[in-house]
Amino acid sequence: MKTISWNARGLGSLIAIRRLQFLLKQYTLQLVFLMETKVSATRMEKIRRKCGYMNEFDMEADGTRGFYGNPFPNERYITWNLLRQLSRIRSYPWIVCGDFNEILYSCEKRLGAPREEKQMAAFRSVLAECQLMDVGFSGS
């Protein structure tokens, strides 16, 4: 199955919609996950129809909050515990994507203060426990 997960913050612009249409045609994607679109459900439905997708599942934003790893390192265990709980109740293959505000290894960090090894180790541990793997990304 071909999928795309796109952090499409600027999806409201015509340029971004055309880029999305190009990607959909180029790769014949079966599953498209658009996150952080910052557009209303009504606008998202128009974009979806324009791109030829008839099935959808929308989740409205709760203010500016979404499913991110907690920005405070000492509270990321909350997200890790949620992943563990979801892992235990699943009965089908699953995919988890998004910004967890964490990295696996220090070599992934380019700017800012160095990450503590115990933080990265906790993230690696939860991925292993939940049988998840980092498939990388492209873009910026």
Tell me the sheet residues that pair with 33.
5
What is the pLDDT, as a whole number, of residue 69? 73
106-132 b/e with 16+ CB inside 10 Å = b?
A: eeeeeeeeebeeeebebbeebbeebee
User: Which of the residue ranges 1-5, 34-38, 47-51, 90-94 would you say has the lowest mean pLDDT?
Assistant: 34-38
% of the chain exceeding 70 in pLDDT: 93
Please, are residues 129 and 87 in contact by the beta-carbon 8 Å criterion? yes
The whole-angstrom distance between residue 16's C-alpha and the CA centroid of its chain comes to 18
Q: Dump strand ranges (E) for the chain.
A: 3-7, 31-35
What is the pLDDT, as a whole number, of residue 117? 96
Taking the complete model, does pTM exceed 0.85, yes or no? no
> Could you tell me which residue, 52 or 37, shows the higher pLDDT?
52
Kindly list the domain boundaries of the chain, sorted by start residue.
3-50, 73-129
